[in-house]
Amino acid sequence: MPSTIRSLVRPHLLTLKPYSSARSEFSGTADVFLDANENAFGSPTKAVFNRYPDPLQKLVKARLAAIKSVSAEQIFLGNGSDEAIDLLIRAFCEPSHDSLLITPPTYGMYEVSADIHNVAVQRVPLLLETSYTIDVERVLAAVTPRTKLIFLCSPGNPTGNVLSATSIHQILQGFGGIVVVDEAYIDFAPHKSFLPHLATYPRLAVMQTLSKAWGLAALRLGMLFAAPELIQVLNSIKPPYNINAVTQELALQALEQAAWKDDVVATTITERERVASALAEMPIVERVYPSDANFLLVKFTASQNPRAVYAALVEQGIIVRDRSQVPLCEGCLRITIGTGEENTRLLKTLQAIAQA
Ligand SMILES: *Cc1c(COP(=O)(O)O)cnc(C)c1O
């Protein structure tokens, strides 16, 4: 079983000479910067953006390291988690040769990114009869020497539930490639993050994001935590200035407001439970799946076409996500938890639809 990052990286990347930017070649103090062909006169905007941003986002990483109890060398920051997904595939999967494994129904970007790179996707579906648990035996049996990455989404999107920690440990122990645990929704879950296990598993990568609990989807800041050796590989192939200065600056400000995040998460969880109970009471609803995230996966009864419910909600100005065409999500809509007022309006509108 291959065990080092070096043995898994696409061979041509081991000798790659990464682009060296002006900002990474000089890191001392100076007051005249004539090295990067920037505009020395400033910017036409009120705030000034004429200098290139820190390519390795040292200040943001230092703050995150303290918050997450990891070292800065264990952090990669991407232009959204989507950039981290793309770079993992670029780093480890040889196009039209290697593959990655997903457990559908799951986040769509793993497969889209694989398709873009012409990397084969192996699918081992979650088990519907146990409300979307993972079939560890089938996952490990499906692995071939060409399987380089396994993407596990926990809590899952669109399924909402956390995967069992035991199952994730079994996959980490039984698979010789990179195991990615996507924790975009972990703040909403009562369960612990897999971050403390980074020391145990050199081939574990944990992804988180500022897009959900931190309320910063528009800033595009995704985090990937892994062994320094893996982080260095991603750094060597990333676009030099992948995180812009505004994002770095505002992320630093936001990270001082953990209490705001905790408050919003608590309110979201209370609202999630209220909406889940109200939905479960409705005759048009067959099932509300358990959720550890900021959304609910809701299955409508066979007599109630979910697409008609979707369309009727749109008519009232309420947009939810139609997942009814996704295998193993037949009959389901995915409903994000909004503010109390928004949720009440959703529930009232659904009640009216049920009575029509
Ligand atoms: C929303 C989401 C993300 C976050 O993506 P960003 O690019 O960081 O906004 C990542 N993974 C999953 C499963 C998600 O649902």
The pLDDT profile of the chain, 356 residues, written as one tens digit per residue, is: 546 999 999 999 999 988 888 878 887 889 999 999 999 999 999 999 999 999 999 999 999 999 999 999 999 999 999 999 999 999 999 999 999 999 999 999 999 999 999 999 999 999 999 999 999 999 999 999 999 999 999 999 999 999 999 999 999 999 999 999 999 999 999 999 999 999 999 999 999 999 999 999 999 999 999 999 999 999 999 999 999 999 999 999 999 999 999 999 999 999 999 999 999 999 999 999 999 999 999 999 988 899 999 999 999 999 999 999 999 999 999 999 999 999 999 999 999 998 88
Tokens linked to 15: 């000798």
Q: DSSP string covering 297-339, please? A: EEEEPTTS-HHHHHHHHHHTT---EE-TTSTT-TTEEEEE---
The full length of the chain comes to 356
Residue with the smallest CA separation from ligand 1 atom 15 is 157
Q: Which of 78, 355, 99 is nearest to 237 (CA)?
A: 78
User: Residue 176 and residue 161: Cα distance in Å, rounded?
Assistant: 26
Give the model's pLDDT for residue 2. 46
Give residue 113 CA to ligand 1 midpoint distance, Å.
13
Q: Please identify, by atom number, the ligand 1 atom nearest to the C-alpha of residue 79.
A: 7
Helix (H, G, I), strand (E, B) or coil at 90: helix
Give residue 33 CA to ligand 1 midpoint distance, Å.
37
Q: Which of 174, 9, 107 is nearest to 329 (CA)?
A: 107
User: Residue 123 and residue 80: Cα distance in Å, rounded?
Assistant: 24
Which residue from 107, 111, 113 has its CB within 8 A of the most atoms of ligand 1, so it is best to mutate?
107
Give the model's pLDDT for residue 117. 98
pTM of the model: 0.97
Q: Which of 209, 218, 160 is nearest to 182 (CA)?
A: 209
**In the beta sheet, which residues pair with residue 150?**
101, 179
Q: Which of 15, 328, 348, 67 is nearest to 213 (CA)?
A: 67
- pLDDT of 243-272, one tens digit each? 999 999 999 999 999 999 999 999 999 999
User: Is residue 157 within 6 Å of ligand 1 at its C-beta?
Assistant: yes
User: Residue 176 and residue 183: Cα distance in Å, rounded?
Assistant: 21
Query: Taking a C-beta distance cutoff of 8 angstroms, is the pair 197, 168 a contact?
Result: no
Give the residue ranges of DSSP H helices in the chain.
Answer: 5-8, 11-14, 22-25, 58-68, 81-92, 109-116, 136-142, 165-174, 228-237, 245-255, 258-281, 306-315, 340-355
Give residue 81 CA to ligand 1 midpoint distance, Å.
6
Q: Please identify, by atom number, the ligand 1 atom nearest to the C-alpha of residue 209.
A: 8
Give the model's pLDDT for residue 193. 97
Give the model's pLDDT for residue 302. 86
Residue with the smallest CA separation from ligand 1 atom 5 is 81
Give residue 107 CA to ligand 1 midpoint distance, Å.
8
Would you give the end-to-end CA distance of the chain in angstroms?
A: 60
Q: Please identify, by atom number, the ligand 1 atom nearest to the C-alpha of residue 107.
A: 13
Give residue 186 CA to ligand 1 midpoint distance, Å.
11
Give residue 207 CA to ligand 1 midpoint distance, Å.
9
Chain mean position to CA 327: 21
Give the model's pLDDT for residue 45. 97
Cis amide bond preceding 155, omega within 30: yes
Give residue 74 CA to ligand 1 midpoint distance, Å.
20
Q: Which of 322, 300, 299 is nearest to 310 (CA)?
A: 322
User: Is residue 80 within 6 Å of ligand 1 at its C-beta?
Assistant: yes
